[in-house]
């Protein structure tokens, strides 16, 4: 029975890795998930298929490693106490208590997921894991490519993987104009092409730095398929992220970036992020001809600055940015799109205050330094990519697939043993 469970457990873990890009979930719609009478997905408490698979493998592991888990709690008792205190205060003063409770539970799940992955070297640091991850990226990339060619989602049976039903004619769908013709940007099973691009970008970095010279030609060809899918998202932030990673790769080779100045990287991204509300102030309300995407991001950044100025210490409550933005007067049309601010630092600052912002900066600084101490280029490049895309998007902190992948990166699980 025990031997049988070992096989089932490995299968479930690899199934979890393969299905990380899915967004199949059961959504609940309490009153706090509505703004102006409209459903807001970001506020909806949801049980994802990946949540269920993770719980299925984590609970038996916890039962068999109870003492190890208790030792972990004791060793990090001070950090855990501070976390619980901040979470409790942030929730107590939240403008939507139940929305914040749901998000803090999600944060706890991700922390446990991170711990689990880091402890399961027998699964997540083996070649089998890398093969499963590669197959997953290739499979969901093929879905994205077919969608682009058809100009619509594929439909059954990919609905079971979380693919939503829409086409090039669906109002509000992300389009790109090529040669005077509109094309639907690739979504795969993600809620937006930018989210897919972020996932594929990290995936490509992991595979490129993990594959060896002896990797079969077929797998190397598969990388080109994944790269094509990334291109069909037409995500400028992801493209920029890959370019920035290439620049930092050269800087690493020339030893320009080293352990003495590596902390300047997260500091740079933090300073740029905090300057956005001040920069956007000159644009909001003025008739300056910028693209819709830029205008939207500027207005959301300005709104974040407004929220931060009123809730500096602990924020207005985690997972409440959309609720709070609807209460800001005198702002333009784009704030009524009911989206989080498109910047991870500003999102954390507005929802959890300076306390949460400093924690995020400390966490990123710690892992940047760790990447140097371990000579882990996968971890370093992944963090650079996340910070670059995080300047323009929020999905690393708001969408299931990207949050889980972010947790994978922080668990340093991609240093595979060949």
Res. 418 pLDDT band, cuts 50 70 90: very low
**pLDDT at residue 297 in the model:** 87
pLDDT at 127: 85
The position carrying tokens 């080779």 is 253
Say if residues 143 and 158 touch (Cβ distance below 8 Å): yes
Task: Give yes or no for a contact between 40 and 34, defined as CB atoms under 8 angstroms apart.
Answer: yes
In a domain, 263, yes or no: no
Q: How far is CA 368 from CA 125, 186, 402, in A?
A: 20, 31, 19
Q: Which helix (H) or strand (E) holds 39?
A: strand 38-39
pLDDT attached to residue 157: 87
* pLDDT for 90: 97
Could you tell me the pTM of the whole model? Answer: 0.94
pLDDT at 93 over 60: yes
Whether 214 has a pLDDT exceeding 80, the answer reads no
Q: Domain for residue 312, yes or no?
A: no
| Residue 363 three-state SS | helix
pLDDT at 366 > cutoff 70 = yes
Answer whether residue 283 shows pLDDT above 80.
no
In a domain, 403, yes or no: no
pLDDT surpasses 60 at 413: no
> What confidence score (pLDDT) does residue 415 get?
53
Asked whether residue 98 is assigned to any structural domain, the reply reads: yes
Closest CA to 383 of 294, 257, 297: 257
Distance CA 15, CA 12 (A): 5
Determine the average pLDDT of the residues in 193-200.
98
Q: Looking at residues 313-318, what average pLDDT do you find?
A: 96
What's the CA gap between 185 and 194, in Å, rounded?
Answer: 9
Task: List the single range of 68-72, 243-247, 310-314, 409-413 with lowest mean pLDDT.
Answer: 409-413
pLDDT at 335: 47
Residue 285: pLDDT band with limits 50, 70, 90: low
Determine, yes or no, domain membership for 42.
yes
Quick one: pLDDT at residue 210? Answer: 84
For residue 402, what pLDDT band results from cuts at 50, 70 and 90?
Answer: very high
Q: What's the mean pLDDT in 9-30?
A: 95
Q: What is the mean pLDDT of residues 248-261?
A: 90
Going by the DSSP 8-state scheme, the letter that residue 41 receives in this structure is G
Q: How many domains does the chain have?
A: 1
The pLDDT of residue 333 is above 60 = no
What is the structure's pLDDT at 136? 97
Mean pLDDT of 55-61: 96
Q: Of the ranges 50-64, 213-227, 276-290, 308-322, which one carries the lowest mean pLDDT score?
A: 276-290
Number of C-beta neighbours around residue 152 at 10 A: 17
Which has more pLDDT, 349 or 290?
Answer: 349
Residues 6 or more apart in contact with residue 155 via CB below 8 angstroms = 163, 165
Residue 195 lies in a domain: no
pLDDT of residue 50 exceeding 50? yes
Structural domain includes residue 133:
no
- For tokens 């400093």, name the residue: 358
φ, ψ dihedrals at 46, nearest 5°: -135, 145
pLDDT at 189 over 80: yes
> pLDDT tens, 161-177?
889 999 999 998 999 99
pLDDT of residue 30: 95
The pLDDT assigned to 332 comes to 53
pLDDT digits over 104-131, tens only? 999 999 999 999 999 998 888 778 899 9
In-domain check, residue 81? yes
- Angstrom distance (rounded) from CA 70 to CA 62: 10
- CA atoms within 13 A of residue 34's CA, in its CB half-sphere: 7
Residue 108 sits in which domain range? 2-123
Residue 314: the pLDDT is 95
Mean pLDDT within 382-387: 97
Q: Angle at which helices 127-150 and 193-210 pack, to 10 degrees?
A: 140
Per-residue pLDDT for 284 more than 70? no
């Amino acid at each position: 029975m025990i031997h049988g469970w070992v096989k089932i457990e490995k299968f479930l873990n690899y199934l979890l890795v393969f299905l990380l890009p899915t967004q199949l979930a059961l959504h609940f719609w309490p009153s706090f998930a509505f703004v102006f009478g409209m459903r807001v997905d970001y506020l909806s408490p949801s049980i994802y298929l990946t949540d269920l698979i993770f719980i299925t493998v984590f609970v038996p592991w916890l039962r068999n490693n109870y003492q190890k888990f208790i030792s972990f709690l004791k060793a990090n008792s001070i950090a855990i106490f501070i976390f619980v205190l901040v979470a409790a205060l942030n929730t107590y003063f939240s403008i939507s208590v139940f929305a914040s409770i749901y998000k803090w539970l999600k944060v706890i799940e991700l922390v446990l997921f991170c711990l689990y992955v880091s402890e399961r070297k027998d699964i997540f640091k083996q070649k089998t894991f890398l093969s499963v991850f590669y197959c997953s990226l290739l499979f969901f990339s093929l879905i994205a490519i077919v969608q682009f060619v058809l100009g619509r989602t594929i439909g059954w049976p990919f609905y079971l993987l979380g693919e939503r039903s829409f086409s090039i004619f669906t109002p509000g769908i992300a389009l790109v104009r090529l040669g005077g013709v509109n094309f639907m940007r690739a979504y795969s099973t993600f809620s937006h092409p930018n989210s897919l691009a972020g996932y594929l970008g990290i995936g490509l970095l992991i595979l490129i730095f993990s594959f060896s010279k002896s990797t079969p030609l077929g797998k190397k060809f598969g990388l080109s398929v994944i790269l094509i899918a990334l291109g069909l998202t037409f995500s400028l932030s992801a493209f920029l992220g890959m370019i920035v990673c290439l620049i930092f790769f050269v800087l690493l080779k020339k030893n320009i970036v080293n352990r003495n100045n590596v902390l300047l990287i997260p500091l740079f991204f933090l300073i740029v992020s905090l300057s956005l509300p001040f920069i956007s102030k000159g644009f909001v309300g003025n008739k300056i001809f910028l693209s819709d995407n830029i205008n939207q991001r500027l207005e959301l950044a300005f709104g974040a600055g407004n929220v931060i100025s009123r809730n500096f210490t602990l924020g207005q409550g985690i997972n409440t940015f959309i609720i709070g933005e609807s209460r800001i007067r005198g702002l333009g049309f784009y704030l009524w799109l009911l989206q989080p601010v498109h910047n991870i630092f500003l999102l954390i600052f507005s929802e959890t205050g300076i306390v949460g912002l400093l924690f995020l900066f400390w966490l990123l600084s710690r892992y940047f330094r760790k990447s140097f101490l371990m000579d882990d280029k996968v971890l370093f490049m992944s963090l650079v990519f996340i910070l670059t895309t995080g300047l323009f998007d929020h999905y690393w902190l708001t969408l299931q697939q990207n949050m889980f992948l972010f947790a994978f990166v922080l668990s340093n699980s991609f240093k595979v043993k060949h």
